[in-house]
Amino acid sequence: MRINKTKAKLLEGKVALGANLNFYAPVIAELYGVMGFDWVWIDCEHGSSNDSEAENMIRAAELYDLTPIVRVPNAFPSTLLRFLDRGAQGLIVPHISNKSEAEAVAQASHYYPLGDRSSATGGRTNRLGAGLTPSEYYEAANKETLVITMIETPEAVENVRAIAAVPGVDAVLVGSSDLTQAMGMPTADKVDEAIAEVIKGAKAEGKIVGVAGAGMTVSNIPRFKHFAQQGVQLLSVGAQELIKQSGDEFLREMNN
């Protein structure tokens, strides 16, 4: 069973820096590992990849101990299971707005006695059956799996403490773009007030907080640093932003 280095880092109170992939590109996942990122956000909600393609990007991440975390397309237990069995060390589950939805995610993401995840002791996460005994594997998988629920609605902001308090939910992650829409497209300061409520609520329950979405671009490093100073530990950048910024700089210098 692989050690989840990002989860360990977060539990030490440190910031874990990730980079996203919302298209099929195992070599870029590998490159993120070479560059020294902590985790890769494999986006299968807004991204184009399916679970089989995600598995290949997970394999690429494993080459450099880059933690593969998948944003799943939905919270169905069968969906969570497929990505976990294919090697995801963490799940980002979108659109969780209340305690009961969070409890269902936690239940489906863990083995007994913490949940009812269907057994897969012969899968790739247990060396294709040549790894740990079933009881050892269940315990290790429960320990190493990182479960992150997304806060994307005013209801979720209001219920953040109840969501964060659910055993088996390790972190909450603000999806600020969807939250902005759900709030009726208010000014940025109003969205930041909601984000501050999430940070305060989650930390009051002793849970990890992440922020992603609006304004979180490579060209806006001060915003990342602002949230890190507020105790936000899960932060990430986008593949397109990384490529675009370096490309823009190259073309600007060469065309001048």
Q: Which residues are catalytic?
A: 46
Distance CA 209, CA 190 (A): 19
Q: Are 166 and 99 in contact (CB under 8 A)?
A: yes
Q: Are 198 and 161 in contact (CB under 8 A)?
A: no
Distance CA 123, CA 85 (A): 7
Per-residue H/E/C for the chain? CCCCHHHHHHHCCCCEEEEEECCCCHHHHHHHHHHCCCEEEEECCCCCCCHHHHHHHHHHHHCCCCEEEEECCCCCHHHHHHHHHCCCCEEEECCCCCHHHHHHHHHHHCCCCCCCCCCCCCCHHHHHHCCCCHHHHHHHHHHHCEEEEEECCHHHHHCHHHHHCCCCCCEEEEEHHHHHHHCCCCCHHHHHHHHHHHHHHHHHCCCEEEEECCCCCCCCHHHHHHHHHCCCCEEEECHHHHHHHHHHHHHHHHHC
Distance CA 51, CA 45 (A): 11
